[in-house]
């Protein structure tokens, strides 16, 4: 169960605080620096004895649990290594009143990052199906004054209803509706909606950007959305985890038919921008 004690209860102290300060200053493009960061991170985590840490990252307060979630490990100790190109891509393109959907929000790093540089008229949905991770997400949202982030507890899929989410207990960020895990009983039933239904239920009529990280199920979400959504709802910008080896369709080619061009590719993600308003015939 998520610890809801006041923010600041787990402020970094002693050697752990010094390690966290040191690892944040390591250069992001140095192989040697990354090896040093991993060594120092393991040392700090061993000293934390299962406790979280309360820190500020990307202009937002967060309580991070760096034990079974790679996202939290990176954001806590090396925030400069966490999707720097993707974050720069979004910051360059989103206005103060942006509508941003963070699907597979995890503990809210992307959602809170966008909330930190957009304005009071922004609208941000952070969608996360795992119950305990969702609790961490809502706690983090509640520690900040933005007032623009709404957490939604569900999966997004190709059809609505209820589905099985396969949990990877070693890295909660890799849990999936598509890939069966190898760990006994590591499943949970969760509600699911389509992306069109999510937008309809939330009264969303325009989307400026979507970050989609659902461990290989990106094609299951986007194919029906592109087909069924009104043209006015198609987002201007997409950041998609690259699950090409798990997709059942050529998703980049499909996006190209809907007027998207690939702007960049990183180790984990593909970034697209919509340059044409037309639909395929």
Q: Does 130 share its domain with 61?
A: no
What six digits make up the tokens of 191?
Answer: 């509600």
Last residue of a domain, one of 32, 47, 79: 79
- Alpha carbon separation from 54 to 40, 49, 223, 248 (Å, rounded): 18, 15, 39, 40
Confidence at residue 179, expressed as pLDDT on a 0 to 100 scale: 57
Residues 6+ apart with CB under 8 A from 32: none
214: nearest Cα among 127, 134, 91 = 127
In a domain? residue 235: yes
Given 45, 62, 79, the domain boundary residue is: 79
**Residue 25 lies in domain:** 12-79
CATH of the domain at 231: 3.40.50.150
pLDDT tens-digit profile, the chain (281 residues): 578 899 999 999 999 999 999 999 999 889 999 999 999 999 999 999 999 999 999 999 999 999 989 999 999 999 999 999 999 999 999 999 999 999 999 999 999 999 999 999 999 999 999 999 999 999 999 999 999 999 999 999 999 999 998 887 776 666 666 554 445 558 889 999 999 999 999 999 999 999 999 988 999 999 999 999 999 999 999 999 999 999 999 999 999 999 999 999 999 999 999 997 555 65
pLDDT at 48: 96
């Amino acid at each position: 169960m998520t610890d809801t004690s006041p923010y600041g209860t787990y402020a970094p102290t002693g050697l752990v605080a010094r390690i966290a300060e040191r690892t944040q200053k390591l250069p992001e493009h140095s192989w040697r620096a990354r090896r040093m960061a991993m060594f120092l991170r393991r040392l700090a985590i061993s000293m934390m004895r299962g406790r979280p840490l309360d820190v500020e990252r990307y202009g937002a307060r967060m309580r991070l649990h760096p034990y079974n979630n790679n996202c939290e490990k990176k954001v806590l100790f090396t925030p400069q290594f966490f999707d720097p190109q993707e974050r720069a891509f979004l910051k360059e393109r989103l206005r103060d009143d942006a509508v941003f959907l963070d699907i597979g929000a995890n503990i809210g790093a992307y959602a809170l990052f966008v909330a930190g540089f957009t304005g009071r008229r922004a609208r941000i949905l952070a969608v996360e199906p795992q119950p305990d991770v969702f609790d961490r997400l809502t706690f983090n949202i509640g520690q900040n004054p933005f007032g623009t982030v709404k957490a939604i507890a569900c999966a997004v899929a190709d059809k609505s209803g209820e589905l099985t989410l396969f949990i990877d207990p070693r890295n909660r960020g890799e849990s999936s509706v598509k890939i069966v895990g190898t760990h006994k009983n590591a499943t949970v039933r969760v509600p699911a909606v389509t992306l069109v239904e999510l937008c309809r239920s939330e009264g969303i009529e325009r989307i400026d950007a979507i970050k989609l990280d659902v461990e290989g199920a990106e094609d299951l979400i986007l194919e029906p959305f592109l087909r069924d959504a009104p043209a006015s709802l198609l987002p201007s910008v997409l950041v998609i985890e690259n699950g090409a080896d798990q997709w059942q369709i050529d998703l980049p080619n499909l996006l190209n038919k809907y007027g998207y061009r690939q702007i960049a590719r990183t180790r984990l993600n593909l970034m697209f921008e919509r340059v044409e308003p037309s639909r395929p015939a």
